[in-house]
Amino acid sequence: MVKICGITNQPDADAAIAGGATAIGFNFYPRSPRYIAPEAAAAIASQPGIVRVGVFVNEDPSRVEQVARIAALHVAQLHGDETPAQYPAALVVWKAVRVSNGFHFSDYEQLPADALMLDGPAGELYGGSGKTFDWSIVVHTARRIILAGGLDAANVAQAVALGHPWGVDACSRIESAPGKKDHIKMNAFLQAARKALQL
């Protein structure tokens, strides 16, 4: 799985899909510089087979499900302090965990989510900070792991080699400005990621 996150416009979505992305992400966290309204996300077309992911932070489950209906989402990517009891029942959940000092993979491995996204430290941004972490902390596990945080064409192969993930996610390091993708950088990342994941 190769995901491009922070999509805010049709040309970027088209370029991501043409470059080989299998998932695109829309950020519905109002304080994010990549925030997009649900109605605007709904207007961005994709293709059959492309997974549409919504990024949420401490949002009420009913609101997550409402946004998912509006924006035709397949997955809710939860970046806040949500407990399993607060996961939206009607959606696939990818739970994001920020890796910082004191992180222990075993504390999160059993979360009841379809995938566990390991993200770099981002402070109040909840993603999109461009900061990496030590990918070697990922233990070999049967569950789906997505690596995020500071990935680009230059380091994604190393991240995959060390972390053995199911998927990878890129955002800030392939942008010309927050919410605006640099298509050359994005395509280079996509090609490197697909090669590393043997897609």
Residues annotated as catalytic are 5, 119
Residue 147 to residue 145: CA distance in whole angstroms: 7
Residue 173 to residue 182: CA distance in whole angstroms: 9
Let me know: does 127 contact 119? Beta carbons within 8 Å: yes
Count the Cβ atoms, other than its own, within 10 Å of residue 31: 10
Place of tokens 């064409």: 153
| Secondary structure E strands in the chain | 2-4, 23-27, 51-56, 75-78, 92-98, 115-119, 145-147, 167-170, 175-177, 180-181
Name the H helices within the chain: 10-18, 38-42, 61-71, 156-163, 183-197
Mapped onto helix, strand or coil, the DSSP state of residue 96 is strand
